[in-house]
Amino acid sequence: MAAQNSVLTQIARPYASALFDLAQSENQLASVETGLSDISRLIGESDDFSRYLHSPVISGDVKAAALDAILGKAKVNPLVANFLRLVARNGRLFALDNIIAGFRDLAAAARGETTAEVTSATPLSAEQASALSETLKTKLGKTVTLNQFVDPSLIGGLQVKVGSQMIDSSIKTKLAAMKIAMKEVG
């Protein structure tokens, strides 16, 4: 899996960098980032759409046509729409998640920010997200942008990933640790 992620990163990096440079030169960095976040959310919310984008059986032209129909109905930033069409024509939609992540990293670095991936059992309220962001800002010394995910299997608590650091205070992990400890005792 690590080798596959490395290959995807190698494919995604030039696309993310090119889009970042173009968005920065057009003074559209914020709107492009918002558009990409919307696309990322769509991929995350729809398993069917995600499988469609990653399917090696469906040709790039068919994917591009379907994407055109979606982009026509959604009010997506024109720069993002043209970029997605290019990625589809080049047959690289399977790497779209990595391209978006690469773009976010470049945009955050340009703003002096870092990104934290936060997974919780239920969606965080605005107050909870703000408090977590402030706590991380104090700890890291940088403004922290939260990418929030929901995983009901966590039962409660949070998993926070910043760069290579992982903080896991989920009940699921604590129960798993207790189960292991009980096996060792008994």
pLDDT tens per residue, range 70-127: 887 877 889 999 999 899 888 898 899 899 999 988 998 888 888 899 999 999 999 9
Q: Is the pTM of this model over 0.75?
A: no
Across all residues in the chain, what is the average pLDDT?
A: 88
Geometric angle at alpha carbon 44, from 42 and 50, rounded to 5°: 85
| Partners of 159 in beta bridges | 119, 168
pLDDT tier, 1 (very low <50, low <70, confident <90, very high otherwise): very low
* φ, ψ (nearest 5 deg) of residue 168: -120, 105
Q: What is the pLDDT of residue 125?
A: 94
pLDDT tier, 8 (very low <50, low <70, confident <90, very high otherwise): confident
Q: What is the pLDDT of residue 164?
A: 84
Q: In what order do the strands lie in the sheet with 113-120?
A: 143-150, 113-120, 158-162, 165-168
Residue type at 123 in one-letter notation: P
